[in-house]
Structure 1
């Protein structure tokens, strides 16, 4: 009888449930499940073709990895502007072929070719001007070739995402696959933001007391609470 022996899960990939991944990027868990192929003991026939395979698929783990999560932010932003999944799939395909990397849109190099690739993807999929006007095109081009979604993403020498600081103009909160499996934490202390937010609620929103409990600053408490209760709910 053949039995499945799970491989040791490697350090530094990050692991996120569909629900958490959706919360962090402003999507729904249903969307994330549609966009990415992840492990399922009983895959359903007839599901839409996903955009790529999850980092966790090889280890038969449900959910997504850190680089999946960062790339999914761009997918969510394009979908919010009305870009169809076939066009996004084509953008990803052309980006992978050009940059020879599984997560092309996150790369800083993609900014140089993003406009050309997006317009080529539209033409290939037969998207006419009437269906996608100039205003919408400009908004999407800012997503694929601009800096807005790239702010807070730290890249290594290979142009791969290694850390994500999700709060605008702040490095107090970080998602780092090398720390606590990528869970959102305070950068300096490593305390999970979810724990701080729970303590803040339980202690009647007394930031000073929570800061004393965790030996952090009140500013740290407020940043963690902001991330968990406002930013993730946006």
Structure 2
């Protein structure tokens, strides 16, 4: 059993349920259900502490829980049952001695497929956790995780690119409390989008903020998708 104290800390990100829904592109109800039913309801029993805490009447989570919910979403889209994901999470928590196994690069790198392409599993030093999906999965799908994640020296996810690394929007828990920003800058995409909605042209916004037109378009695209 891995005990831990879960509380908001600078550098670990603070994401309310509406934030989670917006960043991951899912409904508020789904984000709320995943946090309350699965992470707080089922996984927290193994750690003697909830994954979330209350902020202004809403639940909030850390960056690493956000990443785990991102992984949950990918499996959900592929037809993997939530309870199977939770079972695998528990096995991996023990195998890797981590309360955030889905945020570990070793776990992602350890993903494999069976010949029939009906199961996805992790293998590491003899420890195996299986997920049974209703749709076919392949290694290309799994490696898409790496397109949206960066990892630190301990191989824990430390940056999330919600639109992929070929776009400018990044989520870094050590900058602006983990709020989505333009990479290399401290500009919120909502600020850019606000100017665009007010009628400013992409060229004008690019000029006044001294950013590229692509960065402007990325900010607009992110906000409108959310």
TM-score by length of 2: 0.76
The residue number in structure 2 matching 1:217 is 212
Is the counterpart of residue 74 in structure 1 residue 71 in structure 2? yes
Q: CA deviation at 1:169?
A: 3.9
The residue number in structure 1 matching 2:117 is none
The residue number in structure 1 matching 2:18 is 19
In 2, Cα distance between equivalents of 1:174 and 1:64: 18
In 2, Cα distance between equivalents of 1:209 and 1:54: 46
The residue number in structure 2 matching 1:176 is 172
Q: CA deviation at 1:76?
A: 1.1
**8 Å CA contact 1:15, 1:182 repeated in 2:** yes
Q: Alignment RMSD, CA only?
A: 2.8
Q: How many residues were matched structurally?
A: 200
Q: 1:161 aligns with which of 150, 154, 157?
A: 157
The residue number in structure 1 matching 2:116 is none
In 2, Cα distance between equivalents of 1:8 and 1:139: 36
Q: CA deviation at 1:63?
A: 1.7
The residue number in structure 2 matching 1:199 is 195
In 2, Cα distance between equivalents of 1:14 and 1:36: 16
In 1, Cα distance between equivalents of 2:7 and 2:68: 25
Alpha-carbon distance change, 116 to 208 in structure 1, aligned in 2, over 3 angstroms: closer
SS of alignment partner, residue 71 of structure 1 = helix
Q: CA deviation at 1:193?
A: 0.5
Unaligned runs of 5+ in 1: 1-6, 39-47
Is the counterpart of residue 49 in structure 1 residue 41 in structure 2? yes
**8 Å CA contact 1:106, 1:150 repeated in 2:** no
Cα deviations by residue, 1:160-187 (Å, 9 ceiling, x for unpaired):
1111122234252211111111111111
Alpha-carbon distance change, 215 to 120 in structure 1, aligned in 2, over 3 angstroms: closer
The residue number in structure 2 matching 1:112 is 110
Q: Which has the larger radius of gyration?
A: 1
The residue number in structure 1 matching 2:29 is 30
SS of alignment partner, residue 204 of structure 2 = helix
TM-score by length of 1: 0.74
